[in-house]
Amino acid sequence: MISGATFEVDRKKARLTELEEAAAKEGFWDSPEKAESFLKERKPLETFLAKWTDIAKTLEDLHAYLELGNEAEDVSLAAEIERYAETLAERLDDMEMERMLGGENDDRNAIVTIHAGAGGTESQDWAEMLLRMYIRFADRSGFEVEMVERQEGEEAGIKSVTFLVSGDHAYGYLKAESGVHRLVRISPFDANKRRHTSFASVFVSPEIDEDVQIQINESDLKIDTLRSGGAGGQHVNKVESAVRITHGPSGVTVLCQQERSQHKNRAMAMKILRSKLYELEMRQRAEKAAEAHKSKKDIAWGSQIRSYVLAPYRMVKDHRTGHDTGNVDAVLDGDIIEFIRKYLLSASAGGEQRSA
């Protein structure tokens, strides 16, 4: 039995009707602001109700097969009934996930930064493994990835990387990944084949539109130009096209070096800085309101959110939700949706939610 109350179906239908009645009034479309607001709110409502209608139709078909099977006592329909039941369960799971992605910024794109922890080559290689995991997750989810900054390690891996993930509710999904990630494995860089523990931190913030007001004083900024450190042609390292911006009061630093133009790199760096400062402000407000500082763990070594163990046994475990799996290879290949789902479920149920 499906409860429409869980998804507030009636409320969504009523709201869509209100929007359409307002849009039908004379002069409504003369206001660009009203038109933009209308279109932005209408689309998700229409998308949800279309999916709900599809689920209701699947449920009707399932009931019909059940009645037919009972009346005819035909066990051959069991496979068809099971197929409809599995389809229904999958669609409800998808809608439940979407319901949990209802935060203020969940529908925005995500800016993801990965920093290698202490440990040199080991941690830098681990940071690159995490980068690959998130790129593969983005591919699986239909998201697009745009590199903003990448600092290579001395021997292997990366010191840090920042990239933009664009797509439907990208931030809503990836905010679950903020924190410290711990890897335990037999080191491929150790001739004695000893076991090593490596750390990398992941920071996720929503991409903020220009209409969101973030106060940044120019006097608080330290802007440096430097030569791009990445590959990109014979002329890249001869021109100081990369831009690094440091915000004094918060200590937030942003480096952008992917574009050949210093102007474009500066514009992107400012955009990322605004997003990070916005996320920092939102997090501080939430912590103050909930007095979260009493129980909050810092993003620091020893307070990891997830462990990836490749030796002496194989397991990935999320320490916030307790969810784990032995299929480490699948996780490192981007299959992290169940970890994200469990996190969102615990957060929506009142558990601790890390948004940064």
**139-147: Cβ within 8 A, 24+ apart:** 139/334, 140/334, 140/335, 140/337, 141/167, 141/170, 141/173, 141/337, 142/167, 142/168, 143/167, 143/170, 147/258
Q: What is the pLDDT of residue 201?
A: 94
Determine which helix (DSSP H) or strand (DSSP E) holds 179, and give its type and residue range: strand 179-186
If one looks up domain 110-206+318-348 in CATH, what number appears? 3.30.70.1660
Residue 78, number of CB atoms within 10 A of its CB = 11
**Domain definitions of the chain by residue range:** 4-100, 110-206+318-348, 218-288
Instruction: Report d(CA 46, CA 49) in Å as an integer.
Output: 5
Q: How many angstroms separate the CA atoms of 4 and 52, rounded? A: 9
CATH 3.30.160.20 corresponds to the domain 218-288: yes
DSSP 230: S
What local confidence, expressed as pLDDT, does residue 352 receive?
42
Q: Which residues pair with 199 in a beta bridge?
A: 182
pTM beyond 0.75: no
Per-residue pLDDT of the chain in tens (356 residues, 90 and over written 9): 444 446 788 888 999 999 989 888 888 888 888 888 888 788 878 888 888 888 888 888 888 878 877 776 666 777 778 887 888 888 887 777 777 887 878 988 999 999 999 878 999 999 999 999 999 999 999 999 999 889 999 889 999 999 999 998 899 999 999 999 999 999 888 878 888 999 999 999 998 876 666 778 888 889 888 876 654 444 444 567 888 889 988 888 888 887 778 888 888 888 888 888 888 877 776 665 444 334 334 444 557 999 999 999 999 999 999 999 999 999 999 999 999 999 998 887 654 444 33
**Pairing relationship of beta strands 179-186 and 221-226 according to DSSP bridges:** unpaired
What number does CATH give the domain 4-100? 1.20.58.410
CA dihedral of 307, 110, 347, 335, whole degrees rounded to 10: -50
CA distance linking residue 242 with residue 20, whole number of Å: 48
